[in-house]
Amino acid sequence: MRLQPKTVKILALLGTGVLVVAVAFFAVLFVLVKDSDPRLPAVTAYAYGEAITVEPTRYCELDLTECSEEGSIAKLQVPVGYPLQLSLPKELSDAPWRLYATYDGPNGLEIVEQGYRPGQATAVSVRSKTTPEAKLLGVEIRLPSSVVDENGDPFQRAVWLIETA
**Alpha helical stretches, state H, the chain:** 5-34, 90-93
Residue 25 has pLDDT above 70, yes or no: no
| Euclidean distance between CA atoms 111 and 156, whole angstroms | 18
pLDDT digits (tens, 9 = 90+) for 107-134: 889 999 999 999 999 999 998 876 668 8
Q: What DSSP element (H or E) covers 25?
A: helix 5-34
pLDDT digits (tens, 9 = 90+) for 55-99: 999 999 988 988 998 889 999 999 888 999 999 999 999 999 999
* pTM attached to this predicted model: 0.75
